[in-house]
Amino acid sequence: MEAVYNLLIGLQTALSPFNLAVLVAGLFVGTFVGVLPGLGGANGVAILIPVTFRLPPTSAVILLAAIYWGALFGGVITSVLFNIPGEPWSVATCFDGYPMAKKGKACEALTTAFCSHFFGAMVATLILTFAAPIVAEFTLMFGPPETFAVMMLTFSAFVALGGKSAVKTVVATLLGFIMAAVGIDIVTGRLRLTFGSTELMGGFSFIVAVIGLFGLGEVFMTVEEGLKLEGVSVRMGVRTIFQTMAQLPRFWRTYIRGALIGCWMGIKPGGATPASFMSYGFAKQFARNPEEFGKGTMEGVVAPEVAAHAAGVSATLPMITLGFPGSPTMAVILGGLMMWGLQPGPMLFKENPEFVWGLIGSIWVANAIGVVMVLSFVPFFASILRAPFSILMPSIVFVCAIGAYAVNNRMIDIWYMILFGFVGMAFKKLDYPIAPMVLALVLGDMAESAMRQSLVMSQGSPLIFFNRPIAGIVNGLAVLFFFWPLVTALRDRIRKKLRAPVKA
Amino acid sequence: MRKADAICALIVLAIGILVLYEAARLGIFGWSTSGPEPGMYIFLLGMGVTVGSLVVLGQVFVRSRKGEPDKPFIRLGGLKPVLYVSVPAAAMVLLTEFVGLYIAAGLYLAVYMRWIGKHKWITVAAVSILLPLVSYFIFDRIFLIPLPKGRFEDLLTF
């Protein structure tokens, strides 16, 4: 019951006039950013971090979180109306959302998607509200070896779950860690990897990296592919919206299944994308009309949306309890937390309860307001994408440059941004995943100090990562995840060999 | 695509070797007063990157030996629009050093919209003047985030 009490305090914080205004502004900016090509949630949050230094931390995190939720809504609009998935987990939404829109049921498709989005987020928030304090209590027992172990698990999960090439995932992650290490050695204070250059002494800012990799990289990719936006126009009728809503309870099985898959997968990093595909796959398997899937059935919109957004919200759980972000956007928010002088992790619950509960409360409020807002402003947001690309594109580059400069007021950061833009484009084409690289850049210092402190505790023996019960289990899992691609490759080869004689 | 893959792996390899070299300078093995030697951590990272890039190179080699079909890295005719975006963007940054971000961005917007977008002069003027102006009020005046103004520093800060 303590959670309910705390939640009420959180809701009160989130509903204070100032925070409510911040939240609505964030949602609006977020949806805007989510619709624009080249500006996703991670990027929007990164650009606005310098602005948040003028706000109290609770309002600041509400603003950033609201941008994130807004960007998720914006991604739905582009997937359904333009067949452009704003984020990887919106891909499955395009399968049925776009065909529905083409059939002239754009309003139905959007209403279905937004409501599913809302339901998924609500279930995840409910679980978050009650699970977070328990997990936080548990993680208070963590020492440096356990912290390091959870980090290893986080990055191994990327190797196991995502990406086409396991080796390239590892390389991208390590490059992120190397960039984080540039500058001053956190323990001895000696300069490292600066090679005598004063510009490198300041290190690389993850915000600049995010803006370059996600923002400019995306812009370059878009112009190279010669983007042609062929959107379906939409008219939102109040009656159609309510009629659609009335049909949704029929899919209650898909809703519950999707929400549970989403919550479970979302706790792991990079979980939203597999969650959306899993949920879609299950829905198709259990449906009475599987042949309708992919041609524009409502259930095909419900399944991935519920799971993706349940996962998106439950990614908050590891972030506020452990200090580990589940998605690139969360990583950027986490970086912001550290810049405001807050130490993410279980102590946050003890030391800044109004901050944590304000954030949780704001998720409730943001999703409720968000659904109403996007439903009423869809035509406006869709019209942004119809603006000529030759106006949008330079404006996006300009906004990115502002964001990159404002982090540290350094000119060199704008140059880095352009460099990162090219790196982002090359990496995307060559299948180097960007998300774990950004995560490593944000978590680099934390991982390093956890590792070095552990080694000091054990006087140099790496066994400390395996002979403590929690660290041992988590690290064991990490090792398993790390070699998972190898295991599956071996299994497939053995299966092939076993089958071969039968065929012959 | 394979060539680009190999070049990228070689760059990563060079970074890895650079990091290993730096690690060696800082000391890798042994024990100092503050725990492990400062080079130990980056040695592990450098080692991983080096080995990883070699594996990628090996994979590229195996694929080209098998003669698998290859896609071009950049779509035919795709390079030009990318250069159209990136070169003026770099020019904007260079210009920022002298005349500040607002004026540089205004020029960049105008050039791109007129040259690539072929918009009417009135649209070009409206966007390239209004957008920097609005940004100036949002960032410099409301949120008090000073953006670079180059030589116009004294003129615009009150």
- Positive or negative CA dihedral for A80, A100, A103, A105? negative
Q: How far apart are CA B70 and CA A453, in angstroms?
A: 47
Query: Which tokens in the block code for residue B2?
Result: 């394979």
Chain Cα centroid distance, residue B74: 18
Residues of A in contact with B92 (CB under 8 A): 397-398, 401
CA neighbor of A278 nearest in space, from A89, A118, A443 = A89
pLDDT at A421 (0 to 100): 92
Domain boundaries, given as residue ranges, for chain A: 2-142+176-449
pLDDT at A503 (0 to 100): 46
Nearest chain B residue to A176 by CA distance is B45
DSSP A459: T
Residues of A in contact with B34 (CB under 8 A): 187-188, 456
Residues of B in contact with A220 (CB under 8 A): 82, 85-86
- Could you read off the pLDDT of B21-58 as tens digits, one per residue? 988 888 877 777 777 787 888 899 999 999 999 999 99
Establish how many alpha carbons lie within 13 A of residue B144's alpha carbon, considering only the half-sphere containing its beta carbon.
Answer: 4
Domain boundaries, given as residue ranges, for chain B: 2-66, 79-156
CA neighbor of A400 nearest in space, from B20, B85, B57 = B85
pLDDT at A179 (0 to 100): 93
Q: How many CB atoms lie within 10 A of CB B24?
A: 13
CA neighbor of A364 nearest in space, from A4, A1, A7 = A7
Q: Check A398 against B131: CB less than 8 A apart.
A: yes
Residues of A in contact with B109 (CB under 8 A): 394-395, 398
ipTM comes to 0.90
Answer yes or no: are the C-beta atoms of A1 and A130 closer than 8 Å.
no
Nearest by CB to residue B139, choosing from A167, A402, A430, is A402
- Could you read off the pLDDT of A181-229 as tens digits, one per residue? 998 887 777 888 888 788 788 888 888 998 898 888 888 888 887 666 6
pLDDT at B36 (0 to 100): 79
Q: How many CB atoms lie within 10 A of CB A287?
A: 18
Which residues 46-105 on chain B approach chain A with CB closer than 8 angstroms? 46, 48-49, 52-53, 55-56, 59, 73-75, 77-79, 81-82, 84-86, 88-90, 92-93, 96-97, 101, 105
Residues of B in contact with A398 (CB under 8 A): 92, 105, 108-109, 131-132, 135
Query: What's the count of helices (H) and strands (E) in chain B, helices before strands?
Result: 6, 2
DSSP H helical ranges for A162-251 = 166-181, 198-201, 206-210, 217-224, 238-247
Chain Cα centroid distance, residue A459: 37
Q: Check A401 against B93: CB less than 8 A apart.
A: yes
Residues of A in contact with B147 (CB under 8 A): 402, 405-406
Is this prediction's pTM over 0.90? no
Q: Check B109 against A168: CB less than 8 A apart.
A: no
Answer yes or no: are the C-beta atoms of A327 and A312 closer than 8 Å.
yes
Q: Check B84 against A421: CB less than 8 A apart.
A: no
Give every residue of chain A whose pLDDT is below 70, as ranges: 1, 37-38, 86, 161-163, 226-231, 269-270, 500-504
pLDDT at A460 (0 to 100): 78
CA neighbor of A86 nearest in space, from A298, A308, A398, A369 = A308
Q: What is the DSSP string of B9-53?
A: HHHHHHHHHHHHHHHHHH--SSEETTEE-THHHHHHHHHHHHHHH
| Helix (H) or strand (E) segment spanning residue A184 | strand A183-184
CB contacts < 8 A, A to B, total 171
Answer yes or no: are the C-beta atoms of A211 and A43 closer than 8 Å.
yes
User: Helix crossing, A217-224 with A411-429: angle to 10°?
Assistant: 50
DSSP A410: -
Q: Check B46 against A50: CB less than 8 A apart.
A: no
DSSP A295: S
Question: CB-based contact (8 Å) between B129 and chain A?
Answer: no
CA neighbor of A386 nearest in space, from A222, A235, A232 = A232
DSSP A267: T
User: Helix crossing, A272-286 with A91-100: angle to 10°?
Assistant: 50
DSSP H helical ranges for A387-503 = 389-408, 411-429, 435-457, 469-482, 484-503
Residues 6 or more apart whose CB falls under 8 angstroms from that of A490 comprise none
Give every residue of chain B whose pLDDT is below 50, as ranges: 158
Nearest by CB to residue B89, choosing from A397, A425, A460, is A397
pLDDT at B108 (0 to 100): 92
CA neighbor of A300 nearest in space, from A445, A433, A105, A150 = A105
Q: Check A448 against B41: CB less than 8 A apart.
A: yes
Q: How far apart are CA B18 and CA B91, in angstroms?
A: 30
- Positive or negative CA dihedral for A28, A31, A32, A34? positive
pLDDT at A337 (0 to 100): 86
* Closest CA of chain A from B10, distance in Å: 12
* Closest CA of chain A from B49, distance in Å: 5
* Closest CA of chain B from A404, distance in Å: 10
